[in-house]
Structure 1
């Protein structure tokens, strides 16, 4: 499964948050990406963390790492997670 996590970031907090998220991603030990939408609305950026090909226990492990990293004060609202799986191939 692939895990996609998105959230809003105040533009003023983006420079402080980016290195924390990258450190978090390095700590969880799986390949990860950090992206953002190119536009800014009402002073907020939308960021997305992507964790491809992770196991079933990974979302809980990531949540624990996020709590330890103390990202809450730099994120506007909540982190939303979506799980996607590959479509089966046709025979």
Structure 2
């Protein structure tokens, strides 16, 4: 399964959040063997950017590990609510 996590980020918090996400994703890659990606929509609207984290081919327990890592990294203070979508490959 693949996890897609999207949320809004204030322009003024983008640089700080990018550093925290990069660190979080390196830790998750090392601990879980995932290949995370960080993306954003071009431009901003009303001072907000839309970001997306992509975690392809993760195991069943990964979502809980991601939630714990996000809480530890203090992401809630820098980003809006995180929305997670799960997709699976078509056979």
Q: Tell me, what secondary structure is at the counterpart of 1:31?
A: coil
User: In the alignment, what sits opposite 2:6?
Assistant: 6
Q: Give the TM-score, by structure 1 length.
A: 0.93
Within 2, Cα distance between the matches of 1:32 and 1:13?
A: 21
Ranges in structure 2 where 5+ consecutive residues have no aligned partner: none
The 3-state SS of whatever aligns with 2:81 is strand
Runs of 5+ unmatched residues, structure 1: none
Over the residues paired in the alignment, what is the CA RMSD in angstroms? 0.7
Counterpart mapping for 1:48-67 below 5 A: 48-67=52-71
Residue 37 of structure 2 corresponds to: 33
Q: Matched residues in 2 for 1:3 and 1:40: separation?
A: 24
Residues in 1 aligned to 2:7 and 2:28: alpha-carbon distance in whole angstroms: 19
The aligned residue for residue 85 of structure 1 is: 88
Equivalent-residue separation in structure 1 for 2:52 and 2:37 (angstroms): 8
Name the structure with the higher strand share: 1
Higher normalized helix content (fraction of residues): 2
TM-score where L is the length of structure 2: 0.93
In structure 2, C-alpha distance between the alignment counterparts of 1:28 and 1:64, rounded to whole Å: 11
